[in-house]
Amino acid sequence: MTALARGPLMFNVEGLELSAPDRDRLVHPLAGGVILFARNYAEPRQLDSLTAAIRALRDPPLLIAVDQEGGRVQRFRDGFTAIPAMRRLGERWDADAAAAAAEAIRLGATIAMELGAHGVDFSFAPVADLDYGASAVIGERAFHRNPNAVAHLAAALCAGLRSRGMSAVAKHFPGHGFVAADSHAETPIDSRPLAALEKDDLVPFGALVRRGVEGVMPAHVIYPAVDAQPAGYSRVWLQDVLRRRLGFDGLVFSDDLSMAGAGVAGDVVARAEAAQAGGCDMLLVCNDPAAVDDLLSRWRPRPSPDLPRRCAAMELRASQ
């Protein structure tokens, strides 16, 4: 194991076990974490071996994450509990808010217990977007249209995660649910004024920050009434609103810089520069090993004195 501080990049590995190129990338000083996908999972013992191999490369070990939200976004299935889409909890909230929150706690604890047992530090969850009925890419991943329902259920899910030693990442700040465009394929534009976002979309994020959420992921969405830059590149959103006004002091993860919605900045190095300048701490580059290699060879990030502390808060902790 090599003593090497975590860097500001998180990226994926190729398959069910580490390849030689994977290992070369993961021991680079700019590497800080790994995001796993369905192709990295066959069965629980294989996942144990993969996460152990990743952890053995570095000291402190690289962070290991996955999208295990539930519904259609659940990367590990065979051998894991099937987590329902979060909209099901919202539907239950309409009939019995307390019962829905209790179920959110139970599901959060289940996610954390199962992932933690196999060496995964956290899931990129909860989705704190509102369900306006417009966004296919968000859709049933959102709990509800009502911001108070989303705040209640997302906080409950976080409480469940935390009960089993797992941190949470609220996404996609300041809200991706209003726009129909998919930021995987284009750069969505949400033309609403800040007052409308404050009234609705920012409510769950503010509630989660007040309850100590450890991570936040901004959207690749432009809100031109607030800033010309997508939220993930915007000092207005990430510094003025998220950090200063809402008081967030945790880890800001960029959304995947390989997505089309991130393309307004230019090539992958320009995207990384824009994300870090805007206020992102950890930058995701997924499913594009050539782009990762380009970053590792050419990008020279500014030092981030807060990165070690913020990363440490995302580490899997012993269950309470």
In order of 4, 68, 140, 257, the CA distances from 161 in angstroms are: 28, 12, 20, 27
Q: Are 313 and 60 in contact (CB under 8 A)?
A: no
Half-sphere exposure of 77 (CA within 13 A, CB side): 10
Assign domain 67-267+274-286+298-312 to its CATH superfamily. Glycoside hydrolase, family 3, N-terminal domain (3.20.20.300)
CA distance 255 to 10: 10
CA distance 35 to 273: 21
Bridge partners, 171 (sequence order): 127, 217
- Active-site annotation holds for 94: no
CA distance 293 to 234: 25
What is the average pLDDT across 17-27?
Answer: 98
Of the residues 121, 129, 201, 255, only one is catalytic, namely 255
- Active-site annotation holds for 220: no
Q: Which token pair is 73? A: 């976004």
What's the pLDDT at 318? Answer: 67
Report the relative pairing of strands 73-74 and 68-70 from DSSP bridges: antiparallel
What's the pLDDT at 182? Answer: 80
CA distance 167 to 173: 17
CA distance 293 to 297: 6
CB atoms within 10 A of CB 269: 17
* Eight-state DSSP code of residue 301: P
pLDDT tens figures, 82-128: 999 999 999 999 999 999 999 999 999 999 999 999 999 999 999 99
pTM over 0.85: yes
CA distance 90 to 145: 9
| Residue with token string 């949470």 | 168
Please report which confidence band the pLDDT of residue 320 belongs to, taking 50, 70 and 90 as the band edges: very low
In order of 35, 43, 44, 55, 198, the CA distances from 173 in angstroms are: 20, 33, 32, 30, 12
* Eight-state DSSP code of residue 39: G
pLDDT tens figures, 155-193: 999 999 999 999 999 999 999 999 998 888 888 999 999
Of the residues 182, 184, 249, 294, only one is catalytic, namely 184
**Average pLDDT over the chain, rounded to whole?**
96
Bridge partners, 73 (sequence order): 70
pLDDT tens figures, 133-156: 989 899 999 999 999 999 999 999
